[in-house]
Structure 1
Amino acid sequence: MYRPMLHRLTHRQLEAFRAVIETGKITAAADMLGTTQPSISRAVSDLESAAGFALFERRGRQVVPTSEALALYEEVERSFVGLAEISRVIADIRDFRKGSLLIAGMPALALKFLPDVIADFARAEPGIVVSLRARSSQAVLRHLSSQQFDLGFAAIDTDHPAVLRRAICSSPMRAVMPIGHFLAQKPSLEPADFHEQPFIALGHEISTRSETDLFFASAKTRPRIVAEAQLSASICELVASGTGLSIVEPVTAINFAAAGKVISRPLHPEQPFRYDLLLPALREPSRAAARFLGLVESRFATLLGT
């Protein structure tokens, strides 16, 4: 028994069939689809051949659908409604009306800097949902290596084969001191300025701690360590309370100074600090991620003058 070659069905055939059903004329269907009458006739004929039964009766210029055609139309219409929904989703993604970003950031950036960027991004692209995870730099690296996160922000020298790492901003560390501190009269602070002064240090497990220790050791300076903390924000809160002086990464120092909670000064000689951008190595950044990065770079430039 003969069976029609249903694998020859094409979207163009179904599109022509649907247009003829809805307009009742071959010429009107051609106008609707922006094509020619012979093209519509050929597509409908090919569909009839593939289906194995007639779809229309020709009555002069009118074409009347058969009962089989009407049954087919119901299913075709459901499919086209689904395609219309897919088209709408595609347009939403293209125009940034739909999507998501998953970001992991070191606390120095995740507590204020990145939320400020997210607020700007949300105003510009309200259809994109941004999720932020505050993690240690090592944890940020692990998250990005899973390929599940879109962007990571850290300060880390360790590489991973599944992660692309590049510097997104470099700027020197800064001294922070309580409001009204006598050293605030100086435009910059040197190692000797910290000698025997109460000092809040980074924890020994933080890589920058060794660089700060070297900053003091090179000048044979010994601050009096009264407390230690892991996070720059925690250190700045201790400084704001009058507990002592400290040296922290520049974003947190400048944000606390701008809020009027501490006084911040540059160091001489400079103690460099680098913020790293981490990207999943196995896939390209999305258009939304690229747009977000543009805002990050702009805020770094505004805040730190880089």
Structure 2
Amino acid sequence: MLHRLTHRQLEAFRAVIETGKVTAAADVLGTTQPSVSRMVSDLEHVTGFNLFERSGRQLVPTSEALALYEEVERSFVGLAEISRVIEDIRDFRRGSLMIAGMPALALKFLPDAIAAFVKAEPGITVSLRARSSQAVLRHLSSQQFDLGFAAIDNDHPIVARRPIFTAPMQAVLPIGHPLVAKDRLEPGDFHEQPFVALGAEIATRSETDVFLAVGNARPRIVAEAQLSASICELVASGAGLSIVEPVTAANFAAVGKVIARPLHPDQPFRYDLLMPALREPSRVATRFLELVEAQFDALLSY
């Protein structure tokens, strides 16, 4: 067994093969000529055969040395590739990001953030799944996803949850509606108005019902939908008024499809960030979150 074989001996051997001189090999390795000579001599002792013959001032590798060099070179090429991979990961030229998001964020907000991110970091591959908030929680509990974006009140023992952004719910109105003249809408403004409601199974629906009940407002429900985007499309088509979470309201207002107005009293809506609790977030995930938080600030300042 070659108990005394070292990586440094192989480095010296490779450098001498490629330069043909001990002095040149020492320069390549940043060491001294005696040190290289000693390492080559030690390697010859370990292998049990001569590695070089002298021809004037040149060292000529033996046939055994050339056979060994082929194997050594394969190893060094492999190490070089590993070094390149390390550099790629460090410099964000290689990596992946698995994201699960509630539809309110996964239909427009997150795709915009991802598009900006992959443009800035073209070596990163991003996967996005649009799921209900509870399904996002289940995805993160698998520990296979890096980030989740949801709106939930329950926790999971192996999922870390924290608020990432809180903003008030928004009234959305068709272009040209008379209530557009108001700076903010109160419960009474919705009384007997045609209204597009969230589905009864959506948690925010009950909060909206409480808001309307404060002013004894009884809007005329003409349609229901599960997604804020579907509701905004119905509002844009003139079906009625509604109240939706702020990101979707901002997206539709920004492109001129609806008019968004704040409510009084405020009805806060919280978006949650979910991450696997059993491991630290990757550098890629951390960088993406910086972009997401900046985009929240920019979008909701419309």
**What residue number does 2:163 align with?**
167
**What residue number does 1:246 align with?**
242
Residue by residue over 1:12-38, the C-alpha shift from the partner in whole angstroms, topping out at 9 and shown as x without a partner, is: 111111001111111110001111122
Partner amino acid for 1:27?
A: T
Q: TM-score, normalised by structure 1?
A: 0.95
Paired with 1:138 and 1:10, the residues of 2 have a C-alpha distance of 54
The more displaced of 175-184 and 75-84 is: 75-84
For 2:85, what is the secondary structure of its paired residue? helix
Work out whether 1:132 is the aligned partner of 2:146: no
Deviation at 1:224, TM superposition (A): 1.4
Deviation at 1:54, TM superposition (A): 2.4
For 2:88, what is the secondary structure of its paired residue? helix
Work out whether 1:74 is the aligned partner of 2:70: yes
**What residue number does 1:123 align with?**
119
Counterpart of 1:192 (choices 188, 213, 217) is: 188
Between the two proteins, what is the percent identity of the paired residues? 81
Alignment of 1:26-37 (within 5 A): 26-37=22-33
Alignment of 1:6-45 (within 5 A): 6-45=2-41
Paired with 1:7 and 1:222, the residues of 2 have a C-alpha distance of 86
Deviation at 1:264, TM superposition (A): 0.5
Paired with 1:6 and 1:264, the residues of 2 have a C-alpha distance of 76
Paired with 1:136 and 1:10, the residues of 2 have a C-alpha distance of 56
Residue by residue over 1:260-300, the C-alpha shift from the partner in whole angstroms, topping out at 9 and shown as x without a partner, is: 11111000000000111111111221111111111100010
Q: TM-score, normalised by structure 2?
A: 0.96
Paired with 1:109 and 1:51, the residues of 2 have a C-alpha distance of 63
Work out whether 1:153 is the aligned partner of 2:149: yes
Deviation at 1:49, TM superposition (A): 2.6
Deviation at 1:50, TM superposition (A): 2.4
Residue by residue over 1:121-162, the C-alpha shift from the partner in whole angstroms, topping out at 9 and shown as x without a partner, is: 122111111111111111111111111111111111111111
Partner amino acid for 1:118?
A: I
Partner amino acid for 1:80?
A: F
Paired with 2:42 and 2:187, the residues of 1 have a C-alpha distance of 86
Counterpart of 1:203 (choices 199, 202, 205) is: 199
Alignment of 1:207-286 (within 5 A): 207-286=203-282
Partner amino acid for 2:297?
A: A
Which aligned runs of 4 or more in structure 1 are off by greater than 6 angstroms?
none
Partner amino acid for 2:194?
A: P
- Give the aligned length: 302
Q: 1:157 to 1:8 in 2, by over 3 A?
A: farther
Paired with 2:210 and 2:45, the residues of 1 have a C-alpha distance of 84
CA RMSD of aligned residues (A): 1.5
Paired with 2:11 and 2:199, the residues of 1 have a C-alpha distance of 67
Paired with 1:213 and 1:198, the residues of 2 have a C-alpha distance of 15
For 1:227, what is the secondary structure of its paired residue? strand
**What residue number does 1:90 align with?**
86
Paired with 1:282 and 1:50, the residues of 2 have a C-alpha distance of 46
Paired with 2:35 and 2:141, the residues of 1 have a C-alpha distance of 52
Counterpart of 2:109 (choices 110, 113, 116) is: 113
**What residue number does 2:52 align with?**
56
Paired with 1:74 and 1:243, the residues of 2 have a C-alpha distance of 75
Task: Structure 1: give runs of 5+ residues left out of the alignment.
Answer: none
